[in-house]
Structure 1
Amino acid sequence: MLFHAPLPDLVLLYSTSNAMSLHIFLPCILALVSLPHLNSLKAIEIELNTSITTGSNSTWKSPSGDFEFGFYTLPSGLFLVGIWYGRILERTLVWYRSPSVEPNSQIQFTSAGQLVVAYPNGTIAHTIYSGGNGGAATSAHMQDDGNFVMKDSNLRPVWESFNSPANTILPGQTLQNTQIIYSKGKGDSDYSLGNHMLQMQRDGNLLLKASQWSDPAYWYTSTLTPNVSLVFNATTALMFLVSGTRNIYSLNKNTPIPVKGYYHRATIDESGNFNQYAYHKRNGTSWRRVWRAVDDPCRVNAVCGVYGLCTSPDNEAIKCECIPGYIPLDHKDVSKGCHPPVVINNYCEEINFKLLVFEDTDFQFDSNFFHITNVDLESCKKAVMDDCNIVAATYDASTSTCAKKRLPLLNARNSSSSKGQIALLKVPNNVGPWISKIPKKKSFNVRIFLKAMLAVTATLAGFFGALAVYHHPFTRRLTRRKRNIESRQDEKDHEDDDLVLSNWVLRCIVSRKLEVVVRHDLEVLNNFKRFEEMALVGLWCVHPNPALRPSMKQVVQMLDGTVEVEVPPLVYDRMMANQGL
């Protein structure tokens, strides 16, 4: 019974009884008391030909048991490969690899030194480490800092989970230059790539942005210094931007003490905010946020999707709803965005529209069409109603400024940061002559127009009633030409892009090489500017978000030149990065 007492009590007991006995027996007592702890700290080596099966409760633990590597059970009944805290009831993931797999799947550390996830039938679901350029691994360890490390026969690390982060970084971890962590998908079982990302840019600027839009960042550090990394200091649990040996920027100033008495993590959450949390190791019951990048959660871009309105009365939870006059793309999840119930072809007939006014609301987004200065609210209202190209504006009484908004409306919010702003929205009075069916196509130099549409996508060609054109010899010529061009491109081009014409055209536009699409067609090259405009129109028409595809009336206006055509907000940032552009 004596050895179950705390060590100070043992010392007191022996000190009061016999100093000589204490001198003789204390080393033995310390050894006995420390023995279990020393055993638990012994490195646990994972050998070749070791596996974990879903549902077996088998995991690869760190020496202290603070972290475990294995299959994480999802509410859907599927399993996700991940790393989580092993000593707290709330199994919080700090690293994971999608996609999730079915029961009886396995994590296998193969005899060839690979780390793979296999389906029950033995086929590979996905490979975590292939043993390629780094060489075959001969051992692996789950470390006490949360890093899973694989080593070769010379004990050289060949793969680390810290170098392939998911949505979380831990003390001791570094987000290197050009590295990105993504938020997870929304919902307890969705661990696909989410809608937001934290990026350590090459120019030294750390930023948060919506990953599916080409809009500016909604939070950034403005640290334009070469060779910068984000370091989560293990000693202080503070996060710094470091250039060389210099701390050039501190993200947070305070953290709970003593630092070693808490678990710490920093995570980009589903709603796009970057937060640091702490959990008391001895008597903690939940994670406590100690820092966040964005104080108003509604300032996160695209948090409620296109035509969605974000509200947050407490600056904590957010609520998404559709802007009046729009309906959800998914009624089960309004945060996915909204769309107009009908096609509106004319915003000029004032008799068919009314103007809604929203206090303390802002249609924020770097999509200002035009600023009108030194005006009052009534003048701003009139400017909105008289403008055929817009449906909304924000009036700032403090600066007497009326900011007209482009479509789409992406970041409408009613929250602490929109106090004093007045949002104006043009909505139809009722169903009337402003609703029309898609009109028949008009002629605009049909030959060049069809070439542009075909180059963008065969789907768009079908949309314009060009099924006959699809079987025309020109179509087959253009397809062959594209493949011949791509066969001469660098090896970085993906073979799958042969089947996705719109991605190819978008890549050519962004890299300013659109002429390769039609470089053997003198007729088009002689009117190349027109072809470029038509290609942009085509990209708008096949936008992955149906709500952003223009109506036929808007297409006609684009082709007429009455509406300026820009590169649409496609998901080309990530695509370009993946393809080396």
Structure 2
Amino acid sequence: MLILLPISTVAQSNGNITVGDSLTAAANSSSWLSPSGEFAFGFRPHNDRDFFLLSIWFAKIPDKTIVWYANGDKPAPGGSKVALTADRGLVLTDPRGQQLWSSQTIIGTVASGVMTDAGNFVLEDREFNKAWESFNSPTDTLLPTQNLERGGVLSSRQSETNFSKGRFQLRLQQDGNLVLNTINLPTDYANAPYYASGTTSSDDTNPSSPGRELVFNESGYMFILRENDQRFPLKQGQQVESSSDFYFRATLNFDGVFTQYSHPKAPNSNRSWSSHWSQPENICVSSLVEAGIGVCGYNSICGLKEDQRPMCQCPPGYSLLDPDDRYGSCKPDFIQGCEEDRLGRPGEDLYTWVDLTNTDWPTSDYVLLTPYTEDRCRQSCLEDCMCAVAIFRLGDTCWKKKLPLSNGRVDSNLNGGKALIKIRKNNSTLPVPDPRFDQAPELKKKNQDTLILIGSVLLGGSVF
């Protein structure tokens, strides 16, 4: 986990960076500035100042917002060095000389490097041809004049302060379609998109003109440029301020929302980054993952904040599996299982209900009952040791759901539908059999059932 703290660095730049120049990771270490001083390349510190992130950031605003980073998954210990080499470009090594990262894909021989006023770090040969540039290796952010071609990808970070690879992607596919999707970490398996531009060759409005590249122009407008040079705006009616007075960036946030922001350039401004538009409009409803985690973790509920960013909450009777990850999975704070129900008190005395309106976990059903009344829906779930939640909607339809619950969301389109959450009244554990009596088979069966249940809750289960 890589967590950053603000830093006050002494920045330096003597024009172009030449082969052999280097920076060392340390508190208040130097950085390479763009000519205007608006962007810096160098090291940002880890929270205990023993590890660092090689990155590019806005240098003139107070929060020094990072727009590119090299080693999110491999933080560099203090004393690490980045050097400009002729054959490998930028090379990051730890104090023992072990390589942590390099710019790779070098075309020709590098003669110099420059941090541009556009926020692009460029390596050039002796003829000033580009050998490598950070704009062609984006992380989670695009800047004006930085375009994304077919096959290009933005990857989210894991949290606001953890720059390890996250589970959201923005991709311009080879068919010209711009999509947002989740991946099943630690693999790159892409789930179904929760946003798609529709700019493919099968698009009815432009059947022969798929998207060629995602353009973020110097004025701050973002659109997909089709092969016939027509523009497809990512958001209709985009309104942006003057690029001479404001900085712009477009970031795939750690929670999966792709947002364009602006920030005043004036040093005396008290404004921070302001959102202009976001995609999708409601990620909680748009995302539906069949085989993996959704926007929020298992057993969690996704709700939309005013800024169109998601907020994840555990339902009553549940708490975060990792208290430090509020977007992670939730676990029940009680014991639920068929063996526990059989050995406990019978019937309704075991459980109570918490009702949530316009809430659903749409991919966790295992039984559909219709026509059915709400009372019969509750009773059926109470009598079913596999049932964790029942959804009652449409006046006569009951869906029974089992753990783990996935793709939880609040959705006003459910028109008052209820999530009936079954919570055990008494959270006491089962009595342990007296070892003097021959109850080993019963105890073994109980332990196996409990382990199977816990494994299902924590790791996931089948979707019916």
Q: TM-score range by the shorter chain?
A: 0.7 to 0.9
Q: Residue 51 of structure 1 aligns with which residue?
A: 22
Aligned 8 A contact 2:58 2:66 in 1: yes
* Count of aligned pairs between the two proteins: 411
Q: 2:196 aligns with which of 217, 220, 224?
A: 220
Aligned to 2:290: none
Alignment of 1:98-177 (within 5 A): 98=71, 99-129=74-104, 131=106, 134-177=107-150
- Residue 439 of structure 1 is aligned with which of 436, 439, 445? 445
1:466-521 superposed Cα distances (whole Å, 9 cap, x missing partner): xxxxxxxxxxxxxxxxxxxxxxxxxxxxxxxxxxxxxxxxxxxxxxxxxxxxxxxx
The one-letter code matched in structure 1 to 2:31 is T
Aligned to 2:258: 274
Q: SS state of the match for residue 381, structure 1?
A: helix
Provide the secondary structure at the position in 1 that maps to 2:78: coil
Question: In 1, Cα distance between the equivalents of 2:443 and 2:277?
Answer: 52
Deviations 1:168-220 (A, max 9, x none): 111122222233212112252x2101232223333433232332377533333
Is it true that 1:306 corresponds to 2:298 in the alignment? yes
Partner SS, residue 458 of structure 2: helix
2:9 corresponds in structure 1 to: none
For structure 1, which segment, 250-259 or 44-53, has the greater mean C-alpha deviation from structure 2 after superposition?
250-259
Shift of 1:422: 1.4
What is the TM-score when the length of structure 2 is the normalising length? 0.75
Which residue number in structure 1 is paired with residue 357 of structure 2? 360
The alignment status of 1:409 with 2:428, answered yes or no, reads no
* Between 262-271 and 206-215, the greater mean CA deviation after superposition: 206-215
Counterpart in the other structure of 1:337:
329
Q: Which amino acid aligns with 1:323?
A: P
Cross-structure match for 2:67: 94
Q: Which 10-residue stretch deviates more, 241-250 or 370-379?
A: 370-379
| 1:121 partner amino acid | R
Aligned mates of 2:445, 2:212 — CA distance in 1: 54
Name the SS of the counterpart of 2:159 in structure 1: coil
Amino acid of the residue matched to residue 273 of structure 2? W
Is the alpha carbon distance of 1:144 and 1:409 closer, same or farther for their aligned partners in structure 2, counting shifts above 3 Å?
same
Instruction: Report if the CA contact (8 A) 2:251-2:258 is conserved.
Output: yes
Amino acid at match of 2:35: P
Bigger strand fraction: 2
Letter in 2 for 1:81: L
Partners of 1:148 and 1:380 in 2: how far apart? Answer: 61
In 1, the alpha carbon distance for the partners of 2:247 and 2:179 equals: 25
| AA at the equivalent of 1:344 | G
Instruction: Give the aligned partner of residue 288 of structure 1.
Output: 274
Q: Of residues 438, 453, 458 in structure 2, which corresponds to 1:547? A: 458
For the residues of structure 2 that align with 1:220 and 1:401, how far apart are their CA atoms? 32
Give the share of equivalent positions with the same residue, in percent. Answer: 28
- Taking structure 1 as the reference length, the TM-score comes to 0.61
Bigger relative CO (Cα 8 Å, ≥ 6 apart): 2
CA distance in 1, matches of 2:382, 2:453: 27
Secondary structure, aligned partner of 2:95: coil
CA drift of 1:47 comes to 1.1
Q: Distance in 2 between matches of 1:203 and 1:88?
A: 39
Deviations 1:328-348 (A, max 9, x none): 321333432123454624699
Letter in 2 for 1:68: A
Cα RMSD over matched residues?
3.9
Contact residue 298 and residue 460 of structure 2 kept, 8 A: no
Gaps in structure 2 of 5+ consecutive residues: 1-12, 202-208, 288-293, 433-441
Aligned pair in 2 of structure 1 residues 107, 326: CA closer, same or farther (>3 Å)?
Answer: same
1:241 matched to 2:212: no
CA distance in 2, matches of 1:371, 1:247: 47
Tell me the distance in 2 between the aligned counterparts of 1:126 and 1:437: 53
Distance in 2, matches of 1:127 and 1:155, equals 21
What amino acid is the match of 1:439?
Answer: K
